[in-house]
Structure 1
Amino acid sequence: MSSPHPPDRTPIRVLLVDDHEMVLQGLRAMLARFPGEVEVVGSAGDEAGAVRAVTAHRPDVVLCDIRLRRDSGLDVCRAMRAAEPATRVVFLTVYDDEQHLYQALRAGASGYLLKRIDGHELLRHLENVQLGDIVIDPGLAGRVATAAAHLRHGEFWPGARLGLTQRESEVLALLVGGLSNKAIAARLVVSDDTVKTHLRGLYRKLEVNDRGSAVAVALRECLFR
């Protein structure tokens, strides 16, 4: 059964932004189960089309993938909000990680949901977004809350305030633990070259030139306990 919907309330007008036709068809079919509650007003597959559509239709909510073949969903979100500042964008994606979530919220999104969601959950989140709430996939929100309890104020993960990405932070933690490049690669299931790339990035951001200095900064800044 669909959620109760006041008879005097107009349907939530939704724009879909995804570059996979099967995904668009699936979302249309899912939302079609709630006539009178949700109306899909259009769809787009890239930034230019999304901006045109949001300007033409002025939807209540935009459901947008965070990664498109030709454009970044983050850039699409910013462009749509620049064109229509009242636009509420909810990312609907397969990327189940905190870094994408934080990037989405910084881009001005009103939500971050995963494509495993069912229709009733999606409808409930759309209703909450229309009321002005920020919605986040419950599992992801739980992980973020747990991590936040162990971080200093202003950090999303250890070293965030120093400019480290989440993966650079993971590499640094393993450095502090005394692991070699090869062991780090095995632990993170990446190549040795990928580890070296992350090391170069974190060395630059920490303004150091070697592993020992990076570990010293990590301990001095109390990034890991």
Structure 2
Amino acid sequence: MTASSPEPQRLVLVDDHEMVLHGLGAMLGHFPDEVSIAGQVTTAAEALAVVVEQKPDVVLCDVRIGKESGLDLCRQITTEHPDTKVVLLTVYDDEHYLYQALRVGASGYILKRIDGQELVGHLRRVREGETVVDPALAGRVALSAARLHAGEFWSGAHLGLTQRESEVLELLVAGHSNRAVASKLVVSEDTVKSHVRGLYRKLGVADRSGAIAVALREGLFR
């Protein structure tokens, strides 16, 4: 490292699998001029503690950390420690998780199949102020954005909802029961329950009132 080179980025790695942490640590260890490991932890609570103690540049975490949410952890870190950036490193190649990650302040969303050189390159771009998206998802996101701009999407599409889930949510907002929703959409009540579970998961809520609150906050149905 030359006198003019920046200091290596200090990273905290968060994953509920010790083997993943060891593998990441070993992979990133080949790039000492670019990154250094300030901590490796397996829970959200440990991650928050090490962020307070070490004040890292970047936290790398998964969308799921055991039974905990990496998205909730991202929101808390970016809110309480704005100088620390969060990059989601995950196996979930699903746009709705990507959209949620960006909404809670993530600086990147990268799939775990990436190699060390590519990961370090993405981290370099994050340091420069960019928001990075794995190339495997970037094309789909661009297509989604184009369709949304053209008015081809339904309310809630940007949150990952399918058209049918959006229809179900609109009826929930209007105060209909699952049975009434099933009648209006001419499907079984079990099918409606399945759609409801799906939209709860995608909106990150636990119940009907939470889903309605998100719909109203986002102005999905006017």
TM surpasses 0.5: yes
Give yes or no for contact 1:112–1:136 (8 Å, CA) kept in 2: yes
Aligned: 1:160 with 2:156: yes
Percent of counterpart pairs with the same letter? 51
Tell me which residue corresponds to 2:138.
Answer: 141
Q: Residue 42 of structure 1: SS of its match in structure 2?
A: strand
Give yes or no for contact 1:148–1:157 (8 Å, CA) kept in 2: no
Q: Deviations over 1:88-121 (max 9, x none)?
A: 0000000001100010011110000000001110
Q: Residue 9 of structure 1: SS of its match in structure 2?
A: coil
Tell me which residue corresponds to 2:24.
Answer: 27
Tell me which residue corresponds to 1:176.
Answer: none
Q: Deviations over 1:31-73 (max 9, x none)?
A: 0111222101102222211111111111111111110113110
Taking the aligned partners of 1:200 and 1:56, their CA distance within structure 2 comes to: 38
Q: Summarize the alignment of residues 1-225 of structure 1 with structure 2, pairs less than 5 Å apart.
A: 7=3, 8-152=5-149, 158-160=154-156, 166-169=160-163, 193=190, 196-198=193-195
Over aligned residues, Cα RMSD in angstroms? 3.2
Amino acid at match of 1:41: A
Deviation of 1:195 after TM superposition, in Å, equals 5.7
Taking the aligned partners of 1:24 and 1:33, their CA distance within structure 2 comes to: 15
Runs of 4+ aligned residues of structure 1 deviating over 4 Å after TM superposition are 170-173, 179-182, 199-202
Alpha-carbon spacing, 1:98–1:13, altered in 2? closer, same or farther (3 Å): same
Deviation of 1:197 after TM superposition, in Å, equals 2.5
Give yes or no for contact 1:17–1:62 (8 Å, CA) kept in 2: yes
Taking the aligned partners of 2:9 and 2:86, their CA distance within structure 1 comes to: 13
Deviation of 1:12 after TM superposition, in Å, equals 1.2
Taking the aligned partners of 1:119 and 1:44, their CA distance within structure 2 comes to: 20
Give yes or no for contact 2:154–2:166 (8 Å, CA) kept in 1: no
Q: Residue 36 of structure 2: SS of its match in structure 1?
A: strand
Q: Deviations over 1:176-200 (max 9, x none)?
A: xxx9869xxxxxxxxx945643169
Give yes or no for contact 1:45–1:68 (8 Å, CA) kept in 2: yes
Amino acid at match of 2:133: I
Structure 1, unaligned runs of 5 or more: 174-178, 183-191, 207-220
Deviation of 1:148 after TM superposition, in Å, equals 1.6
Instruction: Please identify, of 71-80 and 85-94, the stretch whose mean Cα deviation from structure 2 is larger.
Output: 71-80
How many residue pairs get matched? 185
Tell me the TM-score normalized by structure 2. Answer: 0.72
Amino acid at match of 1:11: P
